[in-house]
Structure 1
Amino acid sequence: MDLLSRRAGTLFAGGLGALLVWGVAVSDAMPSSFDPGEDCELTFHRDHATARTVSWLPPRAVCDFGSGDVRQFIPAGRATGYTIVFALLVALTVLGLVLIVRRPAGGATGPRNLRFGQFSLGTTLVLCVLGAWELVGAIAGVLGGPPGVLVVVVAATSSVAAIATLLDRTYGPSTVAGSRRRGICAGLGATAAGLVLVLLRLPLGWIWAPTAGATTYLLITALQWVIASGQAGTASSSR
């Protein structure tokens, strides 16, 4: 268990990477998104086909040739295999995440109580990281379909939370013990704000999404400083 705890980050990142590969593999096994009907016709050597994706888990797509002639595009055995592999990869990824959360927090890595450092550096990093993940998400959506996008969302949230935690541990307020909690909160809020703008499909929303995430990070960290300052003042007055 100690070895697993030390390798928790590798376990989690490896699980996410494997899930992304799984999404690409399943997307490739589905009928082509460009011309699914033609893909069905070439696969079964029939004419006038209509293809539709029934579900991604278990992976299932059908080809309808009319008159009740409906065929499974993905064989049942392969679909079962994909499902089993997905369950194992999810278990591996969740195990890595649990071990990361349960791992004891390390000591401070630099001077603390530096608001400007946390605000300026954190906002810039979150903006750049969310912009990079947005590009990766667009590529994953084409290659891996919805599962690929979901993996990218989880990876983006985890990376932003990790950055926020590291910055809080280095520059943030109060004690190191609360850095992970504050970092996770800031990371979740920043990613959620960016994701909402993407899902709303606003004009140029893909440009504003990283900005919204960075702004949300700034507001959350500022609120955390206010709360920490209030708690410090209360503790001092009670002595």
Structure 2
Amino acid sequence: MELVRRRAGWVLTVGLLTMLGWSLAVSASMPSWYDPDRDCLEAFPLVDADLARVAEHWLPPRAACVYRTGETHQFISTTRSIVLTIICALTVALTLIGLYYVVRRLTGPPGLLRSAEAVDLRSRQLRHLGIGGGLTLLILAVYSGANVLAAVLAGPPGALVMAVTTAIALSAVAAAIDREQGPLPSTVRDSRRRGTVIGLGTFTVIFVLTVAAGQFPFYQLWIAPVGAVAYLVLAGLQWSRRTRSAQLIS
């Protein structure tokens, strides 16, 4: 477990990617959303009736072709359903283990304190805001398209995994930028905490605004500039707080 603890970020990444892969596999095992009649006809050619609907269940994975005559035929076999359920349990366990150790870092040893001595804090702050805002803009622009693909190709679980992955990515990137260009004096743990607040806070802003706009679960491209502004505001507040604390100490 020591290796898992030291590679918690990678473990969490692998867990999220495998969960997304699981979502794609389950979606591919179901009748297609754009032409379920054809898939049900190919699976059950002897049924002489019109398709009424497709009954879907994601966990355990199940799908049934329901016809207007009342006939119901299972599209996903029991064996495949069991295998997909076991894979889901394993991927969720892997993801939770990685998340547990990542969260533990927020309360772990602070690490070495980096002083603000001989550092141009004004230039450092401008670099922090510029790089962070730009990367946030880029990440959310990519997410606005990837979210649609995940929802279409992998269904609701895929969209959820993509959202969680994006929130974690925003936090990780914000923490990394903070370590290099963030407020001083500071420790590695401080950067992780501030990055987590910025990442989760930014994603919360775009989530709330998307819901308020009635566009959920599809995030539009406008979330990119809005998210970048949210990043700038949150990071700016952290700089202001650090500056006030330094003034009080001095």
TM band (smaller chain):
0.7 to 0.9
Match of 1:194 among 183, 191, 206: 206
Counterpart-to-counterpart distance in 1, 2:63 and 2:54 = 6
> Cα–Cα, structure 1 residues 37 and 180, in superposed 2: closer, same or farther, change >3 Å?
same
Aligned to 1:180: 192
Is the partner of 2:70 in helix, strand or coil? coil
Match of 1:161 among 171, 174, 186: 171
Check the 8 A contact 2:55/2:66 in 1, yes or no: no
Counterpart-to-counterpart distance in 2, 1:167 and 1:112 = 16
Aligned to 1:88: 90
Match of 2:76 among 69, 74, 77: 74
Aligned to 1:230: 244
Aligned to 2:35: 35
What is the letter of the counterpart of residue 123 of structure 1? G
Is the partner of 2:142 in helix, strand or coil? helix
Equivalent residues, number: 234
Is the partner of 1:51 in helix, strand or coil? strand
Give 5+ residue unaligned stretches, structure 1.
none
Question: Is residue 154 of structure 2 the alignment partner of residue 116 of structure 1?
Answer: no
Give 5+ residue unaligned stretches, structure 2.
none
Question: Is residue 18 of structure 2 the alignment partner of residue 11 of structure 1?
Answer: no
> Cα–Cα, structure 1 residues 112 and 97, in superposed 2: closer, same or farther, change >3 Å?
farther
Check the 8 A contact 1:112/1:171 in 2, yes or no: no
Counterpart-to-counterpart distance in 2, 1:143 and 1:116 = 40
Check the 8 A contact 2:148/2:219 in 1, yes or no: no
Residue 205 of structure 1, CA deviation: 6.2
Is the partner of 1:32 in helix, strand or coil? coil
Question: Is residue 155 of structure 2 the alignment partner of residue 145 of structure 1?
Answer: yes
Counterpart-to-counterpart distance in 1, 2:44 and 2:100 = 45
Q: So what's the TM-score if we normalise by structure 1?
A: 0.87
Q: RMSD of aligned C-alpha atoms?
A: 2.4
Match of 1:57 among 39, 59, 62: 59
Aligned to 1:128: 138
Residue 65 of structure 1, CA deviation: 1.6
Q: So what's the TM-score if we normalise by structure 2?
A: 0.84
Residue 197 of structure 1, CA deviation: 4.2
- Could you report, residue by residue, the CA deviation over 1:165-222 in whole angstroms, capped at 9, with x for unpaired residues? 11112222242232111110100111222334444329x9612111111111111111
Counterpart-to-counterpart distance in 2, 1:106 and 1:214 = 29
Aligned to 1:217: 231
Counterpart-to-counterpart distance in 1, 2:208 and 2:60 = 27
Is the partner of 2:221 in helix, strand or coil? helix
Check the 8 A contact 2:55/2:64 in 1, yes or no: yes
- Could you report, residue by residue, the CA deviation over 1:65-96 in whole angstroms, capped at 9, with x for unpaired residues? 23332222222332232122112101101111
> Cα–Cα, structure 1 residues 78 and 205, in superposed 2: closer, same or farther, change >3 Å?
closer
Check the 8 A contact 2:147/2:219 in 1, yes or no: no
> Cα–Cα, structure 1 residues 53 and 106, in superposed 2: closer, same or farther, change >3 Å?
farther
% identical aligned pairs: 37
What is the letter of the counterpart of residue 241 of structure 2? I
Is the partner of 1:27 in helix, strand or coil? helix
Residue 144 of structure 1, CA deviation: 1.2
Check the 8 A contact 1:194/1:211 in 2, yes or no: no
Counterpart-to-counterpart distance in 2, 1:20 and 1:205 = 18
> Cα–Cα, structure 1 residues 201 and 226, in superposed 2: closer, same or farther, change >3 Å?
same
- Could you report, residue by residue, the CA deviation over 1:104-140 in whole angstroms, capped at 9, with x for unpaired residues? 56656x9684211111111011001111222222222
